[in-house]
Structure 1
């Protein structure tokens, strides 16, 4: 009995070596003796698809074994003996792939077999809104990327941000939400806040709108300093530092990229132009540098950039010249 089991183990080992290592003539001859040619063809194709799913990081172990069970149950009513044996072998191929090809994916993710996705806002003019598996909502700014799992099965709900995003996190004290952004780790239980982590800025900044968040450098030990932010506060971690600097947020327009709403109170035209350039991705210039010292007090709620420029021109007696699709020049009448 033990000899038969050893022979079976050797056959499966030979199959795994043939599928996932370089096949040899000796190995191929052994397979031909142990396996039916049609079954081998089907198993090879299944293994190829399994490998493709792993390469694309789209594999879901739970779904795969569910489909195998369904297929086995359906097949059992048609060809009881041979078909069940065949699907058992297919299940074993998937198991082999999980062990040989999937161990690295499992070990690299702290959420187990969660499929990883990358969503980027791309190069268009629209922002991207993502609803995560727990119901949390993330709004991404232009040129930003969020990496996140299909399901949050681990101790933490973890995502990675490159760029800028506004987070509205569903409360779950038993499974804290953690954002990895550059050098910063941002942990929350349930809140809404903005994270700006564009690499070119040289820093990671967090502004809290509601709730509480905890920010720390991922280069610190577990006992390192962690800064807690409450609504209205801002935390900044410079790339060349390990200490988060906390202050009151004085930028009332920190969410303008998301809302397209602005509030200016005796704001210099230079600062107004900088914000409009960033939010609308346009280039606004002045014909005379002295114009940048003009002040503007106004509020705009989700208005197009042309409308805002018309108000500026009317307020200060200027004229607008559109030199290109996304380029504007402000000059004196």
Structure 2
């Protein structure tokens, strides 16, 4: 019996008649062949088949024995069935080891619910702070060959230095490669912009959909803004300490489009803005620390001559 036929048998690729032939061949080899096969494959990591699969294997073996063998020889074939079942289990382990395993993912999320900030520490010692309605996920292989995380929303990173394993943040259409640093990434799906601000250290940002895929290197105090609409990148300058100020619970806006301001206010104050006016060119630069919503709206109203009317949890822009 050739190796490929045996592999196809364990994978379930053979027809009923072919399966009968292989099973008959296995039963004729005796316990020595079974022991040798198990010995050859015993040092492979064991992945047990699901319980229903093992039950199905056992049922098929016993059904085959009952249908093909006289009752007076049943004692002999029960012994053979036990050997075959053991072989099938070892074969299933061996075959499953050859299949690529699905990656396991770990997720850290801050869904809000009264928690403005959520701090956590990754396996390598990197500290992350998640803003409201943000989540971070990373594979179980994190910190083995590299350190890649996937961000939705906004997070501040204090990266543990490791020159052998680069730290990479994938958010939206951009990847940020870290060279030992503290920085902030804002990548809410509802926002028209993706922002990466560097507080200290050094980072490089690559946009997957920008006109050019050259890595943009930032120095402390620089804020990279990627416009999702026209796929352009601009670099703004801001005091480094301001770039992580939101981690203290403050509302921080820096040349932030009014529509994005409304989105953040919706998350923070659990309201809904109804706006039918075009405000693409209007931005807000301000910091609010523990103030009620009406104070924020008063500031925006004064700067841009916008009127607001609140009805319940809905705010209409006039």
Q: Map of 1:65-84 to 2, 5 A cutoff?
A: none
Q: Residue 98 and residue 123 in structure 1: after superposition, are their counterparts in 2 closer, same or farther (change >3 A)?
A: farther
Match of 2:250 in 1: 261
Answer yes or no: is 1:207 the counterpart of 2:188: no
Answer yes or no: is 1:169 the counterpart of 2:168: no
Task: Tell me how far 1:180 sits from its aligned partner.
Answer: 1.2
Name structure 1 gaps, 5 residues minimum: 1-5, 37-44, 52-82, 106-113, 265-270, 286-296, 314-321
Which residue of the other structure, out of 182, 186, 190, is the alignment partner of 1:192? 182
Contact 1:14 1:27 in 2 (8 A): no
Question: Take 2:88 and 2:177, find their aligned partners in 1: how far apart are those partners?
Answer: 44
Question: Take 1:156 and 1:50, find their aligned partners in 2: how far apart are those partners?
Answer: 37
Task: Tell me how far 1:11 sits from its aligned partner.
Answer: 6.2
Residues matched between the structures, number: 250
Match of 1:56 in 2: none
Contact 1:148 1:158 in 2 (8 A): yes
Q: Residue 10 and residue 130 in structure 1: after superposition, are their counterparts in 2 closer, same or farther (change >3 A)?
A: same
Match of 2:16 in 1: 25
Name structure 2 gaps, 5 residues minimum: 31-46, 54-81, 254-259, 275-285, 299-309
Match of 1:96 in 2: 95
RMSD of Structure 2 on Structure 1 (CA): 5.0
Which residue of the other structure, out of 202, 213, 218, is the alignment partner of 1:229? 218
Give per-residue Cα distances to partners, 1:260-294, cap 9 Å, x unaligned. Answer: 13689xxxxxx999865543444699xxxxxxxxx
Q: Residue 28 and residue 275 in structure 1: after superposition, are their counterparts in 2 closer, same or farther (change >3 A)?
A: closer
User: SS state of the match for residue 20, structure 2?
Assistant: helix
Worse overlay, 243-252 or 171-180: 243-252
Worse overlay, 141-150 or 162-171: 141-150
Task: Tell me how far 1:327 sits from its aligned partner.
Answer: 7.5
Task: Tell me how far 1:172 sits from its aligned partner.
Answer: 0.9
Answer yes or no: is 1:244 the counterpart of 2:242: no
Q: Residue 98 and residue 128 in structure 1: after superposition, are their counterparts in 2 closer, same or farther (change >3 A)?
A: farther
Q: Residue 309 and residue 237 in structure 1: after superposition, are their counterparts in 2 closer, same or farther (change >3 A)?
A: closer
Question: Take 2:263 and 2:190, find their aligned partners in 1: how far apart are those partners?
Answer: 16
Contact 2:146 2:167 in 1 (8 A): yes
Contact 1:216 1:243 in 2 (8 A): no
Q: Residue 258 and residue 24 in structure 1: after superposition, are their counterparts in 2 closer, same or farther (change >3 A)?
A: farther
Q: Residue 217 and residue 172 in structure 1: after superposition, are their counterparts in 2 closer, same or farther (change >3 A)?
A: same
Task: Tell me how far 1:215 sits from its aligned partner.
Answer: 0.8
Q: Structure 2 length normalisation: TM-score?
A: 0.58
Give per-residue Cα distances to partners, 1:191-227, cap 9 Å, x unaligned. Answer: 1111111122122101112211111212479x94221
Worse overlay, 235-244 or 177-186: 235-244
* Bigger Rg, which one: 2
Q: Structure 1 length normalisation: TM-score?
A: 0.56
User: SS state of the match for residue 10, structure 2?
Assistant: helix
Q: Map of 1:1-333 to 2, 5 A cutoff?
A: 6-7=1-2, 9-10=3-4, 12-18=6-12, 24-30=15-21, 32-33=23-24, 34=26, 46-48=48-50, 90=89, 92-99=91-98, 101-102=99-100, 105=102, 115-122=104-111, 124-126=113-115, 127-152=117-142, 155-219=145-209, 224-240=213-229, 244-249=233-238, 255=244, 257-261=246-250, 277-282=266-271, 300=289, 303=290
Give per-residue Cα distances to partners, 1:95-145, cap 9 Å, x unaligned. Answer: 42243x417x5xxxxxxxx53234433363324434222111222223223
